[in-house]
Structure 1
Amino acid sequence: MALLSLHNLSVTFETASGPFKAVDGVDITVEPGEVLGIVGESGSGKSVAMLGLMGLLPPTATVTADEMSFEGRDMRTMSGRERRKIIGREIAMIFQEPVASLNPCFTVGFQIKEALRAHTDLDRKARQRRAVELLELVGMPEPERRLSAFPHQLSGGMSQRVMIAMATACNPKLLIADEPTTALDVTIQAQILDLLLSLQKDHGMAMILITHDMGVIAETAERVIVQYAGQQVERQPVSTLFDAPHHPYTSALLSAIPERSTGGRLPTIPGVVPGQGDRPDGCLFNPRCPKADDRCRTIVPPRQSPALGEALCHYPMNDPASVSAA
């Protein structure tokens, strides 16, 4: 049985100019202990989909799904109390901006112990010991002293370690890491990724890694979902995605990786992700796709077979059937 199953997940925001579907029919399955990567540009709905799962979107957002289950439990029909027993304890999230996510009015120790008080039966002394232990596990120097520090007294890397400590405090079964290395320098990025993977392996937890860095996905994930303008345009194992992408958007993302450049000017994707007022007809990627034709501009593309990465495209690339025939 899958740990997490989301089918046809959609998130719609009510705005002054009308409804805007930020996430459109997303399917996500995560197995126990698996590392799943979700990639795409800013505005592709990666974070919003996960915030919808966590129940952390504002009242202007409407979250719908044909299935939203965790360990076989239907999260759509749960009461608020039942859901709170799962969110924060069995499913935890590391947010994109650690400095903004920590409350500036409370010490680091208070915020870590608050999570323990909400989700465990530990007494005050046990919570103190556990907080120190958590900071040690995430490599925080002088952990006992750091418990009394306020967020503004920490560097970006230290703040992210605190966020990881809070998220893993209750040994969750699923950890959602939303661009955990954003705004950190390269050396600290590598340390944070190594820490996350170490914790994931040591505790046997599953992890959803949200990023726009294909290089990070290559090093960490087992499967990858590519999102564009709220839609999933491709789903593949990492082992095959980098050699044989099937959607033009995936191919363009891979071409923009500096390590894969053959020299000269680094390729880029022209244009931007469409917003509420400029969503095109047909395929949403067609204004930026060099291979788009009239069919792409007028007809919504079909979902291809798993052999073609379930690409949302009229003309999938690297068709195994064509290669075999040749």
Structure 2
Amino acid sequence: MSLLNVRNLSVTFQTGGGLLRAVDGVDVSVEPGEILAIVGESGSGKSVSMLAVMGLLPWTAGITADEMSFDGQDLRSMSARARRRIIGKDISMIFQEPMSSLNPCFTVGMQIREALRQHTDLDRKGRHARCIELFEMVGIPDPERRLGAFPHQLSGGMNQRAMIAMAIACRPRLLIADEPTTALDVTIQAQILDLLTGLQKETGMGLILITHDMGVVAETAERVAVQYAGQKVEEQQVAQLFETPHHPYTAALLAALPERATERRLPTIPGVVPGLHDRPEGCLFSPRCKFADERCRTVPPPVQPPAIGLARCHYPLAVPAGEETA
């Protein structure tokens, strides 16, 4: 049984200019002990889709899904009280912006202890000892003193590590890491990624890694889902995706990596992700795709079979011999 299973998830927001579709028919599945990476440009719906799973979107968001289950439990029909017992304990999230996610009115130690108080049976002394252990795990020096610091008294990197400590405090079964190393320098990035993958191997938790860094994906993930403009456009095992991308967007992302550059100037993807008022009728990537024709611009593309990376494309790249496109 999948640890997390989401089918046909859509998220919309009502704006002054109309209905904004932030997530459009996305499927997500994670097995126990698996590392899934979700990649794509800003505005592709990566964070919003996971916040929908966590139940942390504002009431103005319209969320629909054919299935949204965690360990066989239906998150859609679950009461708010039952959901609160799961979120923060069995499902936890490392947020992208620690300075806006941590409460500025309380010390970081108090905020971690509150999570432990809500979700564990530890007494006050046990909660304090666990906080020190967590700070040591994420590489925060002098943890006894730093537990008494407010978020504004710590650097961005320190706040990020405190956020990671809070997320793993209750030993979650599923950890969603939204750009967990954004504010950290390279050496600390490696340390944090080693920590997360080590915890994943030790505890068997599932890990969803949202990132822009394809190098991080190559080093840590097992499976990759590529999102564009709210849609999942491809999903493959890491090695296969890097070797044989099937969607033109995935191929363009990989071609822009410095280590793959064959010319002095890095290739780029022209244009921008479509917004509310310039959403194409057909393939959402068609205005930026060098392979697009009239069919691409007017007809929504089908999802190809798994052998073709579930690519959402009329003309997928590198189709294996003997495979028929949808």
Match of 1:245 in 2: 245
Match of 1:217 in 2: 217
Letter in 1 for 2:298: T
Q: Does 1:119 align with 2:119?
A: yes
Distance 2:222 2:206 in 1: 11
Unaligned runs of 5+ in 1: none
Match of 1:260 in 2: 260
Give, in angstroms, the shift of residue 251 of structure 1: 0.1
Give structure 1 regions of 4+ aligned residues with deviation exceeding 3 angstroms.
Answer: none
3-state DSSP of counterpart to 1:242:
helix
Match of 2:129 in 1: 129
Match of 1:52 in 2: 52
Distance 2:291 2:184 in 1: 36
Distance 1:100 1:302 in 2: 39
Distance 1:23 1:108 in 2: 32
- The Cα offsets for residues 219-251 of structure 1, whole Å up to 9 and x where unpaired, read as 110000000000000010001000100000000
Match of 1:88 in 2: 88
Match of 1:30 in 2: 30
Distance 2:48 2:254 in 1: 23
Q: Within 5 A, what are the aligned runs for 1:1-326? A: 1-321=1-321
Q: Tell me the TM-score normalized by structure 2.
A: 0.97
Give, in angstroms, the shift of residue 186 of structure 1: 2.7
Unaligned runs of 5+ in 2: none
Letter in 2 for 1:276: L
- The Cα offsets for residues 192-223 of structure 1, whole Å up to 9 and x where unpaired, read as 22222222222221100001111111111000
Count matched residues: 324
Distance 1:233 1:267 in 2: 21
Distance 2:293 2:123 in 1: 65
CA RMSD of aligned residues (A): 1.4
Distance 2:228 2:190 in 1: 26
Give, in angstroms, the shift of residue 12 of structure 1: 0.8
Q: Which moved more, 1:220-229 or 1:118-127?
A: 118-127
Identity %: 72
Distance 2:304 2:243 in 1: 18
Distance 1:201 1:138 in 2: 17
Q: Which moved more, 1:124-133 or 1:273-282?
A: 124-133
Give, in angstroms, the shift of residue 156 of structure 1: 2.1
Give, in angstroms, the shift of residue 262 of structure 1: 1.5
Distance 1:102 1:74 in 2: 29
3-state DSSP of counterpart to 2:321:
helix
3-state DSSP of counterpart to 2:233:
strand
Give, in angstroms, the shift of residue 322 of structure 1: 6.5
Q: Which moved more, 1:187-196 or 1:304-313?
A: 187-196
Q: Tell me the TM-score normalized by structure 1.
A: 0.97
3-state DSSP of counterpart to 1:320:
coil
